[in-house]
Structure 1
Amino acid sequence: MRQKRYEMSDEQWEQIKDLFPKTKTGCPPKDKRLMFNAILWLARSGSALRDLLECFGSWKTVYSRFCKWRDDDTPFNIFHALNAEADYENLSIDSTSVKAHQHSAGAKNGL
Structure 2
Amino acid sequence: MIRRYEICDNQWEKIKDHLPSERKPQGGNTPKDHRQMLNAMLWVARTGAPWRDLPETYGSWSTVYSRVRRWQIAGIWDWI
1:60 has 2:62 as partner: yes
How much does 1:23 deviate? 3.9
Deviations 1:28-47 (A, max 9, x none): 52100000000000000110
Q: Which has the larger share of helix? A: 2
**CA distance in 1: counterparts of 2:33 and 2:21, whole angstroms:** 12
Larger Rg: 1
Matches within 5 A, 1:51-90: 51-78=53-80
Matches within 5 A, 1:6-21: 6-21=5-20
**CA distance in 1: counterparts of 2:38 and 2:70, whole angstroms:** 12
TM-score by length of 2: 0.88
- Residue in structure 2 matching 1:45, options 31, 44, 47: 47
**CA distance in 2: counterparts of 1:52 and 1:23, whole angstroms:** 22
**CA distance in 1: counterparts of 2:24 and 2:2, whole angstroms:** 32
Gaps of 5+ in 1: 79-111
**Structure 2 equivalent of residue 101 of structure 1:** none
Aligned-pair RMSD on alpha carbons?
Answer: 1.3
**CA distance in 1: counterparts of 2:2 and 2:78, whole angstroms:** 25
